[in-house]
Chains A and B, each alone.
Chain A
Amino acid sequence: MTFWLLLYGGIPGVLAMHLQRKETKTYKIATPMTVLVLAGMAGTANMIGSDNNVGPVETAEALLHLVIPTGIYLMGACLAIFGGPSPVGPIPKNWRRGGSILMIISIGWIIMLSLQPGNLPIETAVMNNVAISSLLIGVSLVGAIGTTVVLSIGEKRWSAAIATISLSLGSIALLSILASEISEEISDSLQSIIGTIFGIIIALWVAFHTTILIEKRSDLPKTTTPITDEEEKLVKRHLDTNIRGDKLE
């Protein structure tokens, strides 16, 4: 439990500390706190293996297996987006085709990871079935939403709509092929994803309204005393001098 508390509580906390201005005390203790949080995570993650449950090490392994194809895909997409005739930052020009090839390679990798993970050059992760089922459900759901959004915009972006619907249908097809072997994982991932969508909406709604409620009831900062007649005259004189060009008396 400590590992997960540090992951979901400690990491956002130290990240927020690092975002402070450099002269603040919070910023000065950010690095030692980060070291403590990371050490705590390392210390609690190595307790895995005492029972046969999956834990942080297996989670990290599954995430690494997901990050490889997804990272290649996103890198390819960035090259396809920014690799036009004009160079953008560190991205070289005329790399759109290369980016598209990288995207296709990573789709092939994901298909291999789903259907024949044993044939890949890396060992299959313990939680591969959970990872791949949630990835495919995510692609199919967001692909369907993307298709609807692209079509409802109505600028005849047919190629984008075809790509998103193909991703969605392809993922559903892969899930149906895998259904005989990992139907339990697919069911669990689907329940989790539906729950996650509801959870995000409700949590953000509650947090937003709590903030509004607290901010409304908080004390207003002390206001300054109203300006005196003398100060008013001084301001008027300065305005006359600077705007109308009157000479200062």
Chain B
Amino acid sequence: MSKNSSFLSILVSIFIVILAIGWIANWNFEDIQEIMIDILAKSLMTMTAIWLILATSSTSILHRGSAPRLQTITLLFLSLGGLGLVELLNVGVQRATLATITVQWAGLIMGSSIVLFTVLAIVTGREEEEDPLLAMDK
């Protein structure tokens, strides 16, 4: 399968799963505006968190010159801008929102690791392996 068609099939599979879960969660087309605003707010919160993590984790290379300093300051301002945009959407960042999104991020990471390790366990465990030390005696 070519790269383009496999990328397209990944997008299609994501779309099908989102549609199925959206149907389970009783999503209505009438509420699509609210849903889109919430998705936008959550993506802005994610961006804010990622830029903040990148900015603070690059503080240890600040002594290497002006470029890392400028980079850290830019990322900090970007994260502040992200927070401002969330406020502009009238969603607001509350303690409950931060707690909920943290648990949701953790759930997504753990779910992804479950699938990844399942694939690895099946792919590696399927092959018949031989102990190299025992094989030397033959």
Q: Chain A interface (Cβ within 8 Å of chain B)?
A: 1, 4-5, 7-10, 12-13, 15-17, 19-20, 26, 53-56, 58-59, 62-63, 66-67, 70, 73-74, 76-78, 80-81, 84-86, 93, 96, 99-100, 103, 127, 130-150, 152, 154, 157, 159-160, 163-164, 167-168, 171-172, 175-176, 179, 183, 186-196, 198-200, 202-204, 206-207, 210-211, 214-215, 218-219
Interface hits, B27-62 → A, CB 8 Å: 27, 35, 38-47, 49-60
Which applies to chain B's interface (DSSP): helix, strand, loop or mixed?
helix
Contact of B24 among A74, A76, A175, A199 (CB under 8 A): A175
Residues of B within 8 A of A63 (CB): 102-103, 106
Contact of A16 among B51, B60, B93, B100 (CB under 8 A): B60
- Asked whether, in the complex, the Cβ of B21 is within 8 Å of the Cβ of A70, the reply is no
**A16 touching B75 in the complex, CB below 8 Å, given contacts A163-B122, A195-B40, A214-B67:** no
Which applies to chain A's interface (DSSP): helix, strand, loop or mixed?
helix
**A160 touching B122 in the complex, CB below 8 Å, given contacts A26-B60, A199-B45:** yes
**A172 touching B119 in the complex, CB below 8 Å, given contacts A131-B103, A218-B66:** no
- Asked whether, in the complex, the Cβ of A203 is within 8 Å of the Cβ of B129, the reply is no
- Asked whether, in the complex, the Cβ of A190 is within 8 Å of the Cβ of B21, the reply is yes
For this complex, into which size category does the number of interface residues on chain B fall?
A: 35 or more
Q: Which of B20, B39, B70 has the most CB of A within 10 A?
A: B39
- Asked whether, in the complex, the Cβ of A12 is within 8 Å of the Cβ of B111, the reply is no
**A81 touching B121 in the complex, CB below 8 Å, given contacts A66-B110, A73-B114, A191-B39:** yes
Residues of A within 8 A of B25 (CB): 179, 183, 186-187, 190
Contact of B112 among A59, A85, A138, A171 (CB under 8 A): A138
B136 at interface (Cβ–Cβ under 8 A)? no
- Asked whether, in the complex, the Cβ of B40 is within 8 Å of the Cβ of A138, the reply is no
Q: How far is the CB of B115 from chain A (nearest CB, A)?
A: 4
**A134 touching B57 in the complex, CB below 8 Å, given contacts A80-B121, A163-B122:** no
